[in-house]
Structure 1
Amino acid sequence: MKLNEKASGILKNNAVKWHFDNSYARLPDYFFARLSPIPVQSPQVVILNINLAKSLGLDVEALLMPESAFLFAGNVLPDGAQPIAQAYAGHQFGHFTMLGDGRAILLGEHVTPAGDRFDIQLKGSGQTPFSRRGDGRAALAPMLREYIISEAMHALGIPSTRSLAVVTTGEQVMREVLLPGAILTRVATSHIRVGTFEYAASQRDTDAIKILADYTIQRHFPDLLDTENPYLLLLNRIIDSQAELIVKWLLVGFVHGVMNTDNMSISGETIDYGPCAFMDVYDPNTVFSSIDQYGRYRYSHQPQIAQWNLARLAETLLPLLDPLPERALTLAEEAIGAFPKIYQSYWMIGMRKKLGLLTEESIDTELITALLTWMQNHYADYTNTFRALSEEVLPNNAQFGDVEFKSWHTRWQERLTRQACPQSTPLELMKTNNPAIIPRNHRVEAALSAASEHGDYTLVHQLLAAIAKPYDDLTEFNDYRTPPASSERVYQTFCGT
């Protein structure tokens, strides 16, 4: 498809209603490299997130034009865009590395009619100074995976970057074999990462750290301005939001897969969906990522990794926390040391909701632990077990007839009777905290294979429809609640880079 002059004018001018104000691009140049996406041969939109486009205040009619593919591919830059590749560092599997956007370009920051600010980034848009011998491109399946999983997370009520569109490029990329290329348009409250602070600290210039910290406060935490120690409060705020985020992951059985410091967003959003997946059978040691050979980022280890990553953030902020190094270190250690307690508080709140517990009792921790232990020992499906408990009557199956489960169930029912509320209230609470549907791995893989290998997006769209309302009992999506057969189980996922 060729871009004609009329379509180019429509897309570049304000027909789409972009409103860019690029504050990050006004930071010192060492935080990024200025460059444009590399045009692709024949872009075509395969998915457009109409609901997200509307929430951003964009003109859907203009985006539905076939020529919008050139916009989402980076062949045409919208007016007001100031494309950059961001610089950052990161600890990858515990080892420090200088990184940066090796296959992504930040077009700029779109400000919605409501005044909200979002980064608009093209992922898979070509080589940058940070590509490190990579081709800067992306294959279709990983971009569709990010679209599906990020939208599922949003529907589940978990803070996340989102996906506005996926375009195929008309070109192929080499990843052991030739695969169809694609570009994803990612929307985020920002792309400031723990790794961005590590990069600033690597400049060995306190001013660089202060500039980034001040910018982060101004953009994300303006209520901290003019406080006595805004940098300590910034650290505390990020610690709190990350503890809450990780708990939300665990409550729905989500495994991020690559919790490197460059994949931890300062804004508290889930970012960078690579070999991520949702558990079927409950097992705390669940690992999906093909590159996580030692289980560093396994399901149950995600809280400890979050604390480790936050400690790396605290190290970068030491020069700002206090003029006295000893005092700065003490403040940082106290802040990081509080993480387990904050995390545990959020976890107990979330687990009580999953079990319909509106009050607090000392036995609750043991009650929760006993259920999880039973689930692990009996290979119970994590999502379906909690959803079954949300029903008035348990399904008639062998697992729930187990003597050990019946004993636990009796104790749980006794615990519920000590709440001064109608019987329906706990069930209502549970149904809004125990999803009926998650993007199960075998469903995701089937959809990706059909799209990538055969150009058939039917399963992708069906899956997106199913996960759009995960807490509702919609009979037309009952099949998406079924766990995989043994032959369908997905044991490994891949980064796709």
Structure 2
Amino acid sequence: MKLNDMILQTPYLSLESDFYSFHDPQPLQDPCLISFNDAAAKLIGLDTDAGDDPSFVPLLNGTFLPKGSRPFSMCYAGHQFGHYNPWLGDGRACNLGSLNGWNLQLKGSGETLYSRMADGRAALRSSIREYLMSEAMHHLGIPTTRALGIIGSKTKILRDTMEEAAIVMRMATSWIRFGSFENFYYTKQYTKLEALAEYVIAESFPHLKDDEDRFFKIFCEILHRTATTTAKWQAVGFCHGVMNTDNMSIEGLTIDYGPFSMLDDFNFNYVCNHKDRVGRYSYDQQPNISYWNLTKLSKALSPIIPKERMQKKLDEYGASLYPNAYLKEMRKKLGLQEVLEEDFELIKELVGALQDAYVDHTQFYRILSHYNGNKADLYDIAMNPVAIDNWLKVYDKRLEKEKRSSAQRNKAMLKTNPKYILKNYMLQKAIELAQKGDFSMVQALLDIAKNPYNELPEFEHFAQETPQEYKNIGLSCSS
């Protein structure tokens, strides 16, 4: 399909006007294409050479609107760092409409009703980070939004310093957040709360459309999806950084990439957002915060779902739903096919060993994927190899209870434990080059993001330990 043949739908606009406001995108000055993602283009039926179309940059800049588009921004609220904020919404995002089940959105397209005195723009650096990381997460098998392309410009914006603005076209099967429900709960607009629930069923859970117990069942599905996504974050070492309820997707997608980070050396208490002074959103707290956020969602849904039923499911979330999702992911990382009760202790001891060993998280699991009893390679990457040795003794005994051969286990683990992840120092290098007009590393990292499990000889240096000066640094929310 050519860009001129696109016809967008806007089902969200069937809701009442309190759910959104109309906003035309505000174009950037002298826009230029930084990168086009053909993998995302395929999802919406676009030709894979659409990035070469003269209308592509205007599409991302908001000066070319496909047929059927009625640009709008969505209203929502949310708990930010534990405190309720009644006035959030798409402060710098403009929704164009949906195509093939994907909602297309321009991030950084200017002021909206919900901008809260801000300029509605997005910095080049944060736009590159989101563009690349959303694609990396998808190819790591983690539910996420996607990105079709990114443009830069000569438009200047003030953050900590003067920076250049960019726009990313984001794609999601849903942009509904926990905070979307909170908005109508706290304003006591329960009829609209129910209308939003019906919309969510139509968009995200159509199999429940005619179910008399559909509202409770969507809550159950949200719990399952949240548990799965959070478990996958923990397994791969992803730190979101800002797990506010307005950044939590009802589909369990990873959304709103702010000061995120992948673990360098394993650090259970790592805080990637340097404005998070108390460590509310630290790596180790992410499962607890997912539960906390779900309790706020349950409160928002209480006018249409009995509290007692939701609380029972929340109790299950902490007792079994999330722990089982995490165990499932970790068994795959460790190549364990048999399901044994002792695995919980094995994994718990591994976390302690990694904490004591001062070892690169991704590198450890990748080398472990080749493990056949030879411990030397694992010793070599640890500052404290004794911690690794003690755990490997337990792991060896556990492997004796497996039915697969070492070769079969290694093959499966190499498809589960990535060789390449996008670390902050890599993204920063791409940003610095892009700020000078060189977008080659953005494209290189996109290629790496799409092939995390493959052997890529030309990028072998990116599979090595993070340089010491860049390990587990903090990032700013400013974007």
Same fold (TM over 0.5): yes
Gaps of 5+ in 2: none
The alpha-carbon deviation at position 399 of structure 1 amounts to 5.3
**Does residue 355 of structure 1 match 2:334?**
yes
**Aligned match of 1:72:** 60
1:149-191 deviations in whole A, cap 9, x for unaligned?
1111011010100111111132111112211111110000111
Q: Is the 8 A contact 1:282 1:381 kept in 2?
A: yes
**Aligned match of 1:120:** 104
Q: Is the 8 A contact 2:2 2:50 kept in 1?
A: no
Q: Is the 8 A contact 2:3 2:53 kept in 1?
A: no
**Aligned match of 1:493:** 475
Change (3 A) 1:25 1:395: farther
The size of the alignment, in residue pairs, is: 473
Pairwise mapping of residues 119-138 of structure 1 onto structure 2 (< 5 A)?
A: 119-138=103-122
State the alpha-carbon separation in 2 of the partners of residues 110 and 202 from structure 1: 32
**Aligned match of 2:391:** 408
**Aligned match of 1:329:** 307
The alpha-carbon deviation at position 411 of structure 1 amounts to 2.6
**Does residue 440 of structure 1 match 2:423?**
yes
State the alpha-carbon separation in 2 of the partners of residues 469 and 59 from structure 1: 22
Bigger mean CA offset, 121-130 vs 40-49: 40-49
Aligned to 1:72, the other structure's residue is in SS state helix
State the alpha-carbon separation in 2 of the partners of residues 370 and 246 from structure 1: 20
2:268 paired residue among 262, 284, 287 = 284
**Aligned match of 1:424:** 407
Q: Is the 8 A contact 1:109 1:120 kept in 2?
A: yes
**Aligned match of 1:217:** 201
Q: Is the 8 A contact 2:354 2:388 kept in 1?
A: no
Q: Which amino acid aligns with 1:80?
A: G
Q: Is the 8 A contact 1:138 1:496 kept in 2?
A: no
The alpha-carbon deviation at position 65 of structure 1 amounts to 2.5
State the alpha-carbon separation in 1 of the partners of residues 333 and 203 from structure 2: 34
Pairwise mapping of residues 66-215 of structure 1 onto structure 2 (< 5 A)?
A: 66-97=54-85, 98-111=87-100, 117-215=101-199
Aligned to 2:105, the other structure's residue is in SS state strand
Change (3 A) 1:435 1:488: same
Bigger mean CA offset, 486-495 vs 263-272: 486-495
Q: Is the 8 A contact 1:288 1:492 kept in 2?
A: yes
Q: How does the TM-score come out when normalised to structure 2?
A: 0.95
**Aligned match of 1:458:** 440
1:39-88 deviations in whole A, cap 9, x for unaligned?
23222111111121123201344441244211111122111111101000
Q: Which amino acid aligns with 2:393?
A: T
Bigger mean CA offset, 470-479 vs 241-250: 470-479
Bigger mean CA offset, 87-96 vs 197-206: 197-206
**Does residue 42 of structure 1 match 2:21?**
no
Q: Is the 8 A contact 2:239 2:260 kept in 1?
A: yes
**Does residue 54 of structure 1 match 2:42?**
yes
**Aligned match of 1:324:** none
**Aligned match of 1:468:** 450
Q: Is the 8 A contact 2:357 2:385 kept in 1?
A: no
**Does residue 388 of structure 1 match 2:367?**
yes
1:450-493 deviations in whole A, cap 9, x for unaligned?
212x1211222222222221112232221111122222335111
2:218 paired residue among 234, 257, 270 = 234
**Aligned match of 1:7:** none
Gaps of 5+ in 1: 1-12, 112-116, 322-327
Q: Is the 8 A contact 2:238 2:261 kept in 1?
A: yes
State the alpha-carbon separation in 2 of the partners of residues 90 and 15 from structure 1: 36
CA RMSD after TM alignment: 1.7
1:477 paired residue among 435, 459, 470 = 459
Q: Is the 8 A contact 2:3 2:56 kept in 1?
A: no
Change (3 A) 1:378 1:260: same
The alpha-carbon deviation at position 403 of structure 1 amounts to 4.0
Q: Which amino acid aligns with 1:354?
A: K
Q: Is the 8 A contact 1:146 1:273 kept in 2?
A: yes
State the alpha-carbon separation in 1 of the partners of residues 220 and 240 from structure 2: 23
The alpha-carbon deviation at position 332 of structure 1 amounts to 2.0
Bigger mean CA offset, 469-478 vs 156-165: 469-478
State the alpha-carbon separation in 1 of the partners of residues 273 and 218 from structure 2: 32
**Does residue 27 of structure 1 match 2:15?**
yes
**Does residue 342 of structure 1 match 2:321?**
yes
State the alpha-carbon separation in 2 of the partners of residues 377 and 280 from structure 1: 14
Change (3 A) 1:306 1:36: same
Q: Is the 8 A contact 1:44 1:66 kept in 2?
A: no
**Aligned match of 1:6:** none
Aligned to 1:57, the other structure's residue is in SS state coil
Change (3 A) 1:491 1:15: closer
The alpha-carbon deviation at position 404 of structure 1 amounts to 4.2
State the alpha-carbon separation in 2 of the partners of residues 265 and 71 from structure 1: 26
Q: Which amino acid aligns with 1:336?
A: L
Q: Which amino acid aligns with 1:199?
A: N
Q: Which amino acid aligns with 1:414?
A: K
Identical positions, percent:
36
Q: Which amino acid aligns with 2:369?
A: S
Q: Is the 8 A contact 2:264 2:472 kept in 1?
A: no
Q: Which amino acid aligns with 1:476?
A: E
**Aligned match of 1:369:** 348
The alpha-carbon deviation at position 446 of structure 1 amounts to 1.3
